[in-house]
Structure 1
Amino acid sequence: MSSSGNMQPSHGSVTEIFKAKNAALLLLDYDEDKSLRFLRHGGFAVNLIMQSWSPVLMVSCMVDELQWPITKDAPVIRIGKRTFAFAMPGILYGLQFPSCCEDEMMDTLERVFMKFACYKQLSQGVAGYSYADTTPNFWSKMRPQIENIAHSTLAGFGIGPGKSPSAVGSQASGLLRAIRTSASTKMVHEAIVSGALKATHIDIQDLRPQQKCGEHEYQSIISQQAFSSICVFNNLVQAVELAWVAANGESHLLKQKFQGNMKDLVGFKIWRLNERGLVAFIEKLI
């Protein structure tokens, strides 16, 4: 665990909470063929980014400079000894570590995900996981089980699972959404530590009902950290998609937006960008 030394401590800090020398990142695309696309191979890291003057925090993962967030309202699923899946609106990633990675290291990473993400695990029978990580066509065989957990979990948070309704026409590429999600993750990261993310840009919601705890305990909740919502990043990417769809005259291709109700998200505080925050950030992504 190490801290970045080139950030301004008056605004925020970056702490590397996990690191591995090698990992492969795969995109389980939502195209018609449900393609499996190799994205990156290289060093893997998990970073904790905290703002010094507010309860705001975010956690990001990275493989060879491609970044994505982990949040309390998007599932991370352990599907094998050295394999994990990440589900976000419009994106489904697979992360695979080489066989040389020790079990202890993988268990450490699991604990990180348990603390900072919505952690899930495929049921293990007597023989362990459904397939060994080295099984031919492993990801294709595991995809139905991954999607079942990922989509039901996202829907429970009121988030539309599967392909984004704004990813149509010229914006339909899963690779394009992955690149934009990486860009938005980096942008929010930099805004937190530089001070560009202002209190006027965000809304913080406490999702622990006051009636479930005493008055003193409720007051202590207010001072605890606020986790980023996956909506922080998805809303930025979706705004860019919508702008390009409109600019290309493809608005007729847009699908009906998922209308869900949040029913599973409890036990912590989350923060989102409000309208002013979205306007402040969106120009940098277009």
Structure 2
Amino acid sequence: MALASRDGGGGAAGRAAALRVGRTREYRTGMETELLSIDAGSSGGLAVSLFVLCGDGFEAARLFRSGTLSLHMARVEGLVPMSMATVAVGDHRWMLARDALVARVDARTFVFELPGFFYAVAMPPDAEREECASMAEILSRFCAYHDLAADGTN
């Protein structure tokens, strides 16, 4: 099991969120790899927020969860091997799909399109650029990812 940890400075509490990359757990039928984890609450920083966005102009935006953000990849071995990636904020987890639209709308906000609604993941103000860049890189590998913040089309 490999674990890399990066701690940055700054932020409102004087500490940035802890970034962990690459922890793998092996099971009898496969493995699960933690691609990214931002443990904001445990480092004294602010938590990642998950909002549910509804309506044509997102007029209904509600805070749904807040806490640790994690992205995982699971691989199941067998007659027909399969793999999937998931995102979790706090205790709420959802799957990523190759054809699912994900857009980065500003430096610290990512919007996920799901059938009938959208999720917005807002990183805390003390989130490091490398954390957001790591998330963007992972999402570009597993989703239909568009960086609207870089395109200037937000």
The TM tier, using the shorter chain, reads: 0.7 to 0.9
Q: Paired residue for 1:113, among 127, 131, 139?
A: 139
Instruction: Mark the CA change 1:66 to 1:129 in structure 2 (over 3 Å): closer, same or farther.
Output: same
**Residue of structure 1 in register with 2:38 after alignment:** 20
Per-residue deviation, residues 67-102 of structure 1 (Å, max 9, x unmatched): 111110111111111110000111201000111111
Are the equivalent residues in 2 in contact too, given 1:45–1:63 (CA < 8 A)? yes
Q: What amino acid sits opposite 2:81 in the alignment? A: P
| Partner residue, 1:56 | 82
- From the two aligned structures, give the one with the greater helix fraction: 1
Say what the alpha-carbon RMSD is for the aligned residues. Answer: 2.2
Shift of 1:27: 0.4
CA contact (8 A) 2:107 2:149 kept: no
Contact 1:30 1:90 in 2 (8 A): no
Q: Distance in 2 between matches of 1:82 and 1:123?
A: 9
Report what 2:95 is aligned to: 69
How many percent of aligned residue pairs carry the same amino acid?
A: 25
How far is 1:30 from its partner?
A: 3.6
Is the radius of gyration larger for structure 1 or structure 2? 1
- The aligned runs of 1:94-109 (5 Å cut-off) are 94-109=120-135
- Give the TM-score normalised by the residue count of structure 1: 0.41
Query: Against the structure 1 CA distance between its residues 33 and 2, is the aligned structure 2 distance closer, same or farther, given a 3 Å change threshold?
Result: closer
Q: Among 39, 45, 50, which residue is 2:64 paired with?
A: 39
| Unaligned residue ranges in structure 1 (runs of 5+) | 131-286
Residue of 112, 117, 123 corresponding to 1:91: 117
Counterpart contact for 1:85–1:93, Cα < 8 Å: yes
2:107 alignment partner AA? K
Native 8 Å contact 2:37 2:68 kept in 1: yes
Structure 1 residue 16, shift from structure 2 partner: 0.5
SS of structure 2 residue aligned to 1:26? strand
Structure 2: gaps spanning 5 or more residues? 1-21, 40-46
Mapping 1:128-139, distance limit 5 Å: 130=154
- Paired residue type of 1:4: R
Task: Tell me if structure 2 keeps the 8 A contact 1:48–1:60.
Answer: yes
The structure whose residues are more often strand, as a share, is: 2
* TM-score using structure 2 length: 0.73
CA distance in 2, matches of 1:71, 1:32: 24
Q: 1:12 to 1:65 in 2, by over 3 A?
A: same
- Aligned residue pairs total 125
Deviation string for 1:119-138 (max 9, x for gaps)? 1121646xx675xxxxxxxx
